[in-house]
Amino acid sequence: MTTATASRFEELLSTRATIARPRPLQAAGTATYEFGGGLPDPASFPYAGILEATARMLEAEGAEAMTYGDPQGYRGLRELVCDKYERYEGLQITPDSLVVANGSGHALSLAFSALLDVGDPMICEAPTFHGTLFTIRRHGPEILDVPVDAEGIVTDAVRVRLETLRRQGRRCKLIYTIDNFQNPAGPTMSRRRREALIALAQEFGTLILEDDAYGELRFEGEPIPSLYALDDSGCVIRAGTLSKTLGAGVRLGWLCASKEMLPYLQGFNFGGGVSPFMSRVATYYMREHMVEHIALLVDVYREKRDQMLRGLWEPLEGTDAEISHPEGGFFLWLKLPTGADPARLAELADEAGVRYVAGPTFFPNGGGERNVRLAYSYESPEKCYQGGKLFAECIRKATA
């Protein structure tokens, strides 16, 4: 392409396409120790079960599976999600309060598209999942960050943000939060913080977007009711996904919202229903195997978390490094020891074949220079231990 053609093409791009830098393309799963992306464990994918479910589904549903589907998503899948919520959380909802999307990343983007105009204020955790941050930036809002601590989002800081906006005569559009095993920092929002956040949303007339991608993958401790379950005013939209319990390749997620709001969210969805075929395969498999499969995954990921923690702490014992101990999910969040040089660590880890994500990636408005995120989800327990140890040795070498 000539320069002239390239610049002509750039002039044609929409504001939304240029408002944030395009997402860098990075091949996942290519490092010796892939601790970068939150990739599910490939050894646990139920290959035989999916083959069997596909055959069973096609026999039962035939042409229905191969044509356009319900715009709100395959009803059987929406029923399955309702069943899952009832089984794991005692939460009773109906399929009418759900819309299916192409993974929860897409589900979240439906909410951002329905609510955010360029320049609108919204609140987001710092740190937060960088994938969502990319989607948020594409919509061009003013991102007001709020810290997280051991109890999740710091609601006193949310109040300060909301009061400041009110004084300016502005209204926060939404508060985006990852309440269970927060990605990347790991805490689960306490019940009192959940109640406080809902009270704030109601007091200031804003919405909460609850992103719960990992809730069932709890290794220990008691589940806490979701924001969506605790709210009775319709101020919570909740996103969920099959990516972490069945497989990210199925690309199936959803939003739960009030019946009044749902059409606005659905309005940004694709026509023809989201993958009517794959929705059916996933439903036929999960209807029969969900409970046993999730129980297996909980054991698999707990073991990986423990092995990575063991590997990391061996070289880091006695330093002032801090490492999260999440009760579930896929990630560890590290604070490097005093004196560690993040740039040197990046070189050493690269030479050692360890992929991780640097802390600043997760901060909307700067910060996190001394943090890194490691995903234990993808590699085997042995590699989590070895790679964790190797990475911690790199940290020691990068520390003056």
Q: Are 244 and 215 spatial neighbours (Cβ–Cβ below 8 Å)? A: no
Listing DSSP states for 346-394 in one string gives HHHHHHHTEE-EEGGGG-TTS--TTEEEEE-SSS-HHHHHHHHHHHHHH
Nearer to ligand PLP, 212 or 393 (CB): 212
Establish if 213 lies at the interface with ligand PLP (CB under 6 A): yes
Q: Helix (H, G, I), strand (E, B), or coil: what is residue 152?
A: strand
Establish if 248 lies at the interface with ligand PLP (CB under 6 A): yes
**Binding window for ligand PLP (CB under 6 A); candidates: 22-30, 46-54, 240-248, 308-316:** 240-248
* Tokens (6 digits) for 243: 């990516």
**Binding window for ligand PLP (CB under 6 A); candidates: 18-26, 59-67, 127-135, 310-318:** 127-135
Closest contact distance (angstroms) between CB of 87 and ligand PLP is 20
Q: At 147, which helix (H) or strand (E)?
A: strand 142-149
Residue among 34, 36, 38, 311 that touches ligand PLP (CB under 6 A) = 38
Establish if 275 lies at the interface with ligand PLP (CB under 6 A): no
Establish if 110 lies at the interface with ligand PLP (CB under 6 A): no
Nearer to ligand PLP, 127 or 315 (CB): 127
Establish if 103 lies at the interface with ligand PLP (CB under 6 A): yes
Establish if 243 lies at the interface with ligand PLP (CB under 6 A): yes
* Tokens (6 digits) for 271: 């026509």
First-to-last alpha carbon distance for the chain, in angstroms, is 47
**Binding window for ligand PLP (CB under 6 A); candidates: 58-66, 125-133, 229-237, 320-328:** 125-133
Residue among 69, 73, 76, 105 that touches ligand PLP (CB under 6 A) = 105
* Tokens (6 digits) for 254: 């959803």
Nearer to ligand PLP, 362 or 385 (CB): 362
Establish if 109 lies at the interface with ligand PLP (CB under 6 A): no
Which residue minimizes CB distance to ligand PLP?
A: 103
Q: At 374, which helix (H) or strand (E)?
A: strand 371-375
Residue among 72, 97, 104, 377 that touches ligand PLP (CB under 6 A) = 104
* Tokens (6 digits) for 283: 């439903």
Residue among 72, 109, 183, 283 that touches ligand PLP (CB under 6 A) = 183
Listing DSSP states for 75-115 in one string gives HHHHHHHHHHHHHHH-----GGGEEEESSHHHHHHHHHHHH
- CA distance linking residue 249 with residue 241, whole number of Å: 11
Q: Helix (H, G, I), strand (E, B), or coil: what is residue 189?
A: coil
Q: Are 336 and 370 spatial neighbours (Cβ–Cβ below 8 Å)? A: yes
Closest contact distance (angstroms) between CB of 41 and ligand PLP is 14
Establish if 129 lies at the interface with ligand PLP (CB under 6 A): yes
- CA distance linking residue 317 with residue 305, whole number of Å: 17
- CA distance linking residue 140 with residue 15, whole number of Å: 9
Binding residues (CB under 6 A) for ligand PLP: these are 38, 103-105, 129, 131-132, 178, 183, 211, 213, 241, 243, 248, 253
